[in-house]
Structure 1
Amino acid sequence: MIDTSIFQDKTAVYYTLGCKLNFSETSTIGKVLREAGVRTVRKGEKADICVVNTCSVTEVADKKCRQAIHRLVKQHPGAFVVVTGCYAQLKPDAVAKIEGVDVVLGAEQKKDLLQYLGDLRKHESGEAHTSALKDIRSFAPSCSRGDRTRFFLKVQDGCDYYCSYCTIPFARGRSRNGSIASLVEQARQAAAEGGKEIVLTGVNIGDFGKSTGETFFDLVKALDDVEGIERYRISSIEPNLLTDEIIEFVSRSKRFMPHFHIPLQSGSDEVLKLMRRRYDTALFASKVKRIKEVMPDAFIGVDVIVGTRGETEEYFEQAYRFIQSLDVTQLHVFSYSERPGTQALKIEHVVSSEEKHRRSRLLLDLSDEKTRAFYARHIGQTMPVLLERSKPGTPMHGFTPNYIRVEVPHDDALDNQVIPVRMGDFNEEGTALSGAFGDNSVICNKELTR
């Protein structure tokens, strides 16, 4: 039994890098510490505990993690510093040597953070507590409220895919998940706390069911029946796991939004083979086509990696033309980063950093074109928007069901409310459509009234 009396009136600061799953898990860590008596540090205060949840998807991510740790150690002198997350799992000894770090917790240990805090006395040197890959087995539940209106529900962890460029399976372990019954209960609790939107998070959520013999489609159907939650979004799903039955269900769902995020990674079949992806461009195109057939106004976000080993100029041009042909909304573009221990390092053709930057810029410009055209098609329509709190005197923002960002005049009473908003032109920054509250009867096509 942990004596939590030493945590009473202590303060903590949290810093998260990386994906939505990391943010969800940090929020759960914060909840555990709050229940033990630790409050979040206020502006200008020095924290007693610093928790850094790291990412290691690229070399740049590793660097940002180190910078964040150094910055927090400097800002909060004497604080007990805990580092967890993917970088901590992959390079625990290196992290433990960073000045000021007390404890490094791996993927299996972070759920038990309290027991590693001891009496909060600083260590002479950092202590690393991690498990071997084969021993990362447990699924730590997490359903946390974000900074705004939505909850993030962790439904799955780990990955069995071992793509040639990726270290995530080594950082997160094998694919595993919670039970549908437990996840439905967490969704009900989120609704009881006033949540209206839940984002389903995980590492490879379409692979849901390895632990429990269930399927992701079963989970989607069960969550759709939870009263009080008005919107669900699927954070990211592999194209080979996005089945037609899931697409069809979302098209007629009461609560799942017409919004998909599908990792492509490359529009070249040759590069996809080098990456050890489990689909080709024909399958990807068929998924996009099917979504648009049943949900013409669906938002489709796509992940793309440029400059991976083996991506010749010819292969990139193939990829660009393929992506250009797709009826998708937005591209999330990443430059390939060499990761130690990955199979991609055996591929001979190396792309220069300058060429990676050029290819990235081309795809980002293409993304801007596609996103702007998608937004422009909805100007003049009235759509339900879930509005988010903002600072007094600044515009409020929110999203339509199909993930169009909307800006409206500030009104605290509208926080976490779904309001019909008439879409105007782009705001000054071009990042959202300016909205106005108009005639509730002018709601556009019925798929978007949910």
Structure 2
Amino acid sequence: MTICFHTLGCKVNQYETEVMAERMQRAGYTLAKADGECDVIVINSCTVTGESDTKVRKLLRRCRREHPGAVIAVTGCYPQAVDGAADALPEADIVMGTRNRAFLPSYVADFLEHRQRIVAIRAHEEGENFEAMQVGGFEERTRAFVKIQDGCNRYCSYCIIPTARGPIRSKPLSSITEELAALAKAGYREAVLVGINLSAYGEESSLTLPDAIEAAVSVEGIERIRLGSLEPDKFDDAFIARLAACQKLCGQFHLSLQSGCGETLRRMNRHYTPEDYEKVVIRLRAAFPNCAVTTDVMVGFPGETEEEFEESLAFVNRIGFAKVHTFAYSPRPGTVAAGLPGQVPKEEKERRSRRMIAETAAHRAAFLTSQAGRKEPVLFEQEAASGVWEGYTPNYTPVRVCSGTALNGRILPVRLTGSYGDWCVGRLAEPQEEEET
């Protein structure tokens, strides 16, 4: 029988889809493309916003309409977080949460035998263990994602994820090195450590994120380690010093901001001030020369006045991020923020989004321009066009190079000669070429 997967949401969801796909293959299923004919369809859902929930329901209805005879399972954050989710997903034959992915093969087998709808949503509880999972490979043959952390206890006022994901729990160090060793053996050169609240790795024990990074960089064959999204309040001097000592760690840090206004951050229940955040950026840039600091910024949070928006925009401009993901606040039912006064009209949120995007685009262009003249090792991943190969530097600058020889999967020195659009262009350099200043 054939099975296909639709994944909505973050890199952690993508990793977990790979885990479920491998388990189903071991159970005898053949993977099919999501837009083709298949016997079983699995939708791995996201619930980060109310719009995310809508996307799940629309996708489910489309899958049922296009594949009336298929077995359809919905799993992930939406069923786990939303009361009555099973009733809101009548087209699904199997509804699961975030705690029982390992049972997907048995649930599908049970449904095929008895044709009785299955709703299996197990509540999270304090003290639960990190779910044992390991991925052997990805479609992308140069970079792998490794989930090392799950759960969150921050309770930001706009976020439902603590409900969807439960308490903090972390993958054992031995499991991290074991998984990375297997990925290295399979030919992967780079790995990205991801989690729901990655910065909280080890909080339930005596470990910290630097412990996980140090274990990861010790694995032979993996030449680069990247980090997923991070919270800024963990980055004290000792923390950064340990990271800087890991030579395989790439100088790319996605440091969640959300707002550059202190009063807005307080209403969001974030755990830092703009001044705290700026100090972290200064420390990172000192410890990792030419690093890229990227971020997320929310506009139109409840109560955000025009003055607060201007304060946030000024802060973002002062930092000068390598890239900013801007999004308008979307009320998430079940969160504190959904009931706060001062909800900003949609048109105003869109106006603020456009302005934030326009001004931060200039910083992105300046960052790419600043890379010209540098010689950087580039891990090539794909042929972007005939004879044009695309890859990434350690700070995740996208680079395109012309070559008549296949470059994918190789790390080669490249002289960056300029920028075009959202990437840099360059030429293959000789290893002995000196750095231009």
Equivalents in 2 of 1:253, 1:46: separation in Å? 46
Other-structure match for 1:77: 68
1:271-320 deviation line (CA, Å, top 9, x unaligned): 11111111111110000011112223100111111111121111111111
Equivalent residue number for residue 108 of structure 1: 99
Asked if 1 retains the 8 angstrom alpha-carbon contact of 2:202 and 2:208, the reply is yes
Corresponding residue of 2:43 = 52
> How far, CA to CA, are the matches of 1:164 and 1:199 in structure 2?
28
Task: Determine if the alignment matches structure 1 residue 147 to structure 2 residue 143.
Answer: no
1:433 match: 424
Q: Identify the residue that residue 23 of structure 1 maps to in structure 2.
A: 14
Cα distance between partner residues in 1 of 2:270 and 2:353:
20
1:325, distance to aligned residue in structure 2 (A): 0.7
Distance 1:164 1:97, change over 3 A: closer
Q: Tell me which of 128, 135, 152 is aligned to 1:137.
A: 128
**Structure 2 CA distance for partners of 1:288 and 1:37, relative to 1, 3 Å:** same
Distance between the aligned counterparts of 1:138 and 1:98, measured in 2?
Answer: 29
Alpha-carbon distance in structure 2 between the residues aligned to 1:135 and 1:199 = 27
Q: CA deviation at 1:42?
A: 4.9
Q: Which amino acid letter does the alignment assign opposite residue 271 of structure 1? A: T
| 1:238, distance to aligned residue in structure 2 (A) | 0.6
- Please say if residues 96 and 125 of structure 1, whose CA atoms lie closer than 8 Å, have aligned partners that are also in contact: no
Deviates more, 1:267-276 or 1:68-77: 68-77
Matched, 1:88 2:88: no
Q: Helix, strand or coil: the match of 1:121? A: helix
Q: Determine the structure 1 residue equivalent to 2:219.
A: 226
Does 2:54 match 1:63?
A: yes
Distance 1:439 1:185, change over 3 A: same
What is aligned with 2:370?
Answer: 377
The 1:88–1:313 alpha-carbon spacing in structure 2 relative to 1, beyond 3 Å, is same
Letter in 1 for 2:300: G
Q: What is the identity, as a one-letter code, of the residue corresponding to 2:108? A: L
Shift of 1:377: 0.9
What amino acid does structure 1 have at the position aligned with 2:81?
L
Alpha-carbon distance in 2 for matches of 1:241, 1:367: 25
Q: 1:43 to 1:319 in 2, by over 3 A?
A: closer
CA distance in structure 2 between the partners assigned to 1:178 and 1:23 by the alignment: 17
Give deviations 1:217-262, integer Å, cap 9, x for gaps: 2111222211111111111111011232332233342210011011
User: How many residue pairs get matched?
Assistant: 435
Which residue of structure 2 aligns with residue 4 of structure 1? none
Q: Distance in 2 between matches of 1:321 and 1:310?
A: 18
Amino acid at match of 1:438: A
Change (3 A) 1:11 1:443: farther
Q: 29, 32, 55: which is aligned to 1:38?
A: 29
Measure the CA separation in 2 of the matches of 1:136 and 1:22.
22
Q: Given the alignment, which residue of 315, 319, 326 partners 2:312? A: 319
Give the secondary-structure state (helix, strand or coil) at the position aligned to 2:155. coil
The residue identity in structure 2 corresponding to 1:298 is C
SS of the residue 1:118 aligns to: helix
Alpha-carbon contact 2:9-2:46 (below 8 Å) kept: yes
Change (3 A) 1:43 1:359: closer
Q: Contact 2:79/2:95 (CA < 8 Å) preserved in 1?
A: yes
Match of 1:127 among 118, 134, 137: 118
Structure 2: distance between partners of 1:398 and 1:392:
13
- Alpha-carbon distance in structure 2 between the residues aligned to 1:411 and 1:52: 40
Percent same amino acid among aligned pairs? Answer: 34
The 3-state SS of whatever aligns with 1:385 is: strand
Greater CA drift, 169-178 or 247-256: 247-256
Q: What's the counterpart of residue 208 of structure 1?
A: 201
Match 1:303 to one of 293, 296, 303: 296
Deviates more, 1:46-55 or 1:387-396: 387-396
Secondary structure of the structure 1 residue equivalent to 2:162: helix
Describe how 1:189-338 pairs up with structure 2 within 5 A: 189-338=182-331
Query: CA 1:405–1:141 in 2, change beyond 3 Å: closer, same or farther?
Result: farther
Superposed displacement of residue 355, structure 1: 0.9
Between 1:92-101 and 1:25-34, the stretch displaced more is 92-101
- How far is 1:203 from its partner? 0.8
Unmatched tracts of structure 2, length 5 or more: none
Report the Cα offset of residue 439 of structure 1.
Answer: 2.6
Among 335, 348, 360, the alignment partner of 2:353 is 360
* Cα separation, 2, equivalents of 1:327 and 1:295: 16
Shift of 1:112: 2.0
Q: In the aligned structure 2, how far is the partner of 1:267 from the partner of 1:93?
A: 36
Cα pair 2:387 2:404 within 8 Å, conserved: no
Between 1:317-326 and 1:388-397, the stretch displaced more is 388-397
Q: Measure, in 1, the Cα distance between the counterparts of 2:341 and 2:385.
A: 55
Q: TM-score, normalised by structure 1?
A: 0.91
Which stretches in structure 1 are left out of the alignment for 5+ residues? 1-9
Q: Is the 8 A contact 1:250 1:257 kept in 2?
A: no
Contact in 2 for aligned 1:158/1:175 (Cα 8 Å):
yes
Task: Please tell me whether the aligned partners of residues 399 and 405 of structure 1 are also in contact (alpha carbons under 8 angstroms).
Answer: yes
Partner of 1:419: 412
Q: 1:192-221, CA deviations, whole angstroms, 9 ceiling, x for partnerless residues?
A: 111111101101111111344311121112
| Cα deviation digits, residues 15-57 of structure 1 (max 9, x gap) | 1011000000001111111111111115874111111111111
How much does 1:393 deviate? 3.0
